[in-house]
Structure 1
């Protein structure tokens, strides 16, 4: 039986109160950039209205900060943040990288379209072979 893939949208920022304050300070000083933060929040600490009302694939993402990641995910994505990654049977793959997120230019509808295309393409691929069962 195939497992349902688990998708993560991973911010290049820490989720604690101090992490948020530090990111905001560094962003204002031009020392930090997180294109996923720009897509979901911009300058609004509560999030952009289109992000708060997200539907479809974007609503099923696990939106996490780098300090909130499960260990096996953090070990695979490392310094490649921000990104969207998928966990398929324990195999972590970055499916939307930093440059593609930057290319959305803060437009959440562009991101949603990219995400839907990516997920559609992934469903056309077979899941990675974990070697745990007979093959036909």
Structure 2
């Protein structure tokens, strides 16, 4: 299982804050750009099916304790692999930025890390 953490809060107020911040250039989340525009990208769902792996997406205000500890160490946005021994960082903010919002680029980055 993978856990992706957005660099934004969830819920109506969190989403509104992010949208306004994004439009003003004061908020950026590369994982948000990869997974959706105004709604979730259809190519995201297709990619998840192709990879045959569960991806749990969380906002900053929706994290479990272990995810919060990993984000405190590595920052957000990020993608982690969850295993019996805990979370391992797969993609950090710089790696997510490098795919430029592309679902295909994200898939390639995951495959390069042995996912799928």
Normalization by structure 1: what TM-score? 0.75
Q: In the TM superposition, what are the counterparts of 1:108-127 in structure 2 within 5 Å?
A: 108-120=103-115
Q: Supply the RMSD in Å over aligned alpha carbons.
A: 1.9
2: CA distance, partners of 1:34 / 1:100: 12
Matched residue SS, 2:114 = helix
- Confirm or deny that 1:50 pairs with 2:32: no
Structure 1: 5+ residue stretches without partners: 1-5, 124-136
| CA deviation string 1:8-48 (max 9, x = no partner) | 01111111111000000000111000000001113x2x212
Question: Which protein shows a greater Rg?
Answer: 1
Q: 2:89 aligns with which of 94, 112, 135?
A: 94
More helix by share: 2
* CA distance in structure 1 between the aligned counterparts of 2:31 and 2:94, rounded to whole angstroms: 11
1:49-68 counterparts in 2 under 5 A? 49-54=42-47, 55-57=49-51, 60-68=54-62
How high is the TM-score relative to the length of structure 2? Answer: 0.87
Give the equivalent residue in structure 2 for 1:70: 64
Q: Greater relative contact order (Cα 8 A, min sep 6): structure 1 or 2?
A: 2
Residue 100 of structure 2, aligned match among 98, 105, 121: 105
Greater displacement, 108-117 / 54-63? 54-63
Q: Which runs of 4+ in 1 moved over 4 A?
A: none
